Amino acid sequence: MFLPDSNIPFASRFPVKCFFTPLSKSLQLDTVKLLVMERHVLRVDATAAESALHNISTIATSRTSTIFQSEHTSFDQTSGLLATEGDEPPAEWSLSLPVQLPESFDLASQSVLAGIINISHRVVVKAQFRDTENNANITIEEEIPFSIYMTPAVIASNGEIHGHYIERFKSYECAPPAYGQHKCDAIPPEWAEYLRQFNASSQRPHYEQGTVHDMSCIPAVQGSLDIEPPVYQFCAS
C-alpha cells in the first residue's frame, strides 16, 4: 500500500495504491474497504490529590473517529488485475483507490503533535478474499500513518475551502520487486583487500593482534610525545 506523500494538505483528494498477491490461486479478491481514521489524545497533569491517590502523574483520554470511508466490490474487470502467463486467472491485483478528505473543520482537523493535544491520522485498508474451494472468507488489514497539514492555498479570502488533487507519486515510493527478481547490492572492490587483511591478522597470536593490527589503524603523529603541555596562568583576584 502506498500514498503519494506522507504529508497531505487539508481537504485534498489523493489516491491510495494497493497491491495484493494471495498465496493460493483459489483466493479471489471480494471486497476492499478504505478508511481514514483520526485519533485525538488529550493529556493533562494530574492534581496533587489524584497523584497521591492513584500514583499517576498525567491523565489521558482519547477518541477515534472515521473521517472517510469507502467500499469497493467490483474487481472482475481486467483493468484492476495483473495478467499472468497462459490462460490462468490473475494471481495479483493492482488497485488505485481515491480518498477525499472532508472539506469542513467540523468533520476533520489537521495533525497536531503537542504536549497536551495530539491529533494523528492513518489510512486503513481492509481486504476480504473469498476461497473458491470451500467458500471461506479471509480478511487482512493494513494501515499507513500520515499527516494532514494546513496551507494558505486551502482557505480562500472569503473563507471557502478548496482542496487539492494529489496524483503524482514520489519516485522512491514504488512497489518492491517480486520475489526472485531482486538484485544483490554491489560490493566495492577495495573491500576484498580489507577482508583479506582482516583474515590474515585474525590468524595471528593474540599478543600480535593487540600490538600490530590494532595500532596500524591509528594515524601516527610525529613528535607528539615530545610536546610539553601549555602553561596556564592564574590571575589573583
Domains for the chain: give ranges and CATH numbers.
7-149 (2.60.40.640), 184-215 (no CATH)
Mean pLDDT (whole number) for 173-185: 53
For residue 194, CA distances in Å to 150, 184, 188, 198, 212 come to 52, 20, 11, 6, 16
Which pLDDT does position 223 carry in this prediction?
44
**What is the distance between the alpha carbons of residues 120 and 20, in angstroms, rounded to a whole number?**
26
pLDDT at residue 88, rounded to an integer: 57
**What's the mean pLDDT when you consider all of the chain?**
76
| Residue scoring higher pLDDT (48 or 22) | 48
How many whole angstroms separate alpha carbon 8 and alpha carbon 27? Answer: 34
Q: Which residue has the higher pLDDT, 2 or 222?
A: 2
- In this prediction, residue 142 carries a pLDDT of 94
Query: Which residue would you say has higher pLDDT here, 191 or 83?
Result: 191
Most confident of 65-79, 117-131, 204-218, 221-235: 117-131
Q: Which residue has the higher pLDDT, 170 or 98?
A: 98
**HSE-up (13 A, CA, CB side) for residue 134:** 4
What are the distances in angstroms from CA 36 to CA 6, 85, 154?
14, 36, 20
Most confident residue range from 80-89, 141-150, 208-217: 141-150
The C-alpha angle 221, 223, 226, rounded to 5 degrees, equals 135
Other beta carbons within 10 Å of 20: 21
Q: According to the model, what pLDDT value does residue 75 have? A: 64
Which pLDDT score, from 0 to 100, does residue 201 have? 72
Which pLDDT score is estimated for 83?
42
Are the CB atoms for 16 and 174 separated by under 8 Å? Answer: no
User: Average pLDDT for residues 104-113, to the nearest whole number?
Assistant: 90
Cα separation, 175 vs 91, in Å, equals: 16
Q: Is the pTM of this model over 0.85?
A: no
At residue 133 the predicted structure's pLDDT band, cuts being 50, 70 and 90, is confident
